[in-house]
Amino acid sequence: LAYVNREVVAFVEADFIYTVICSVLVFCFFNFRKRAKCFAGDVGSVSIAFILLFLIGRLIIRTEDFSWIVLLSVYGVDSVLTIIHRLMLHENIGLPHRKHMYQIMANELKVPHVVVSSIYMAVQAIIVVGYIMCLGYGYWYLTGIILLLCFSYTCFMKKYFGLHQST
């Protein structure tokens, strides 16, 4: 977002983004490890999410281009498809669960959570770089990415969701 704010379109005070970056780096220093040193749990994650949603919302309003939502595509597709999947299973979506793709990777496949987070981060970063390189085709790019992520999610769940059901 700092790059977009500086090089593509100014949508917020740069100092705000740099302050958020410093905060997230400190948060990651204590939490991006096998055993968190200063666990912030849902409060920390939700706080960071609200800040990111605010920044992306400002960017969308400033540019009048909703395709910037691609900045949340990996997490958005996982969340929406998990809700749809739970509805298909006739589950109460208000109750806790462990059916997100990242949860199945960490819990059933025993992939360390730092590795799962790194995979999500790397995929999202590649998507963002691709989007910035294809700015003139934002909605086409967004559509293609959503379809690709939906296909990947579906293939993953077909292969590994049974592990979750057996636990």
Written as tens digits, the pLDDT of the chain (167 aa) is 999 999 999 999 999 999 999 988 887 777 777 776 666 666 777 888 899 999 999 999 999 999 999 999 999 999 999 999 999 999 999 998 889 999 999 999 999 988 998 999 999 999 999 999 999 999 999 999 999 999 999 999 999 888 766 55
CA–CA separation, 132 and 151 (whole Å): 23
| 6: amino acid identity, one letter | R
Boundaries of every domain in the chain: 1-64, 67-167
Inter-residue contact 63 to 9 (CB < 8 Å): yes
Long-range interactions of 116-121: CB distance < 8 A, separation 24+: 117/32, 120/74, 120/75
What's the confidence (pLDDT) of residue 161?
85
Q: State the pTM of this model.
A: 0.85
CA–CA separation, 103 and 111 (whole Å): 9
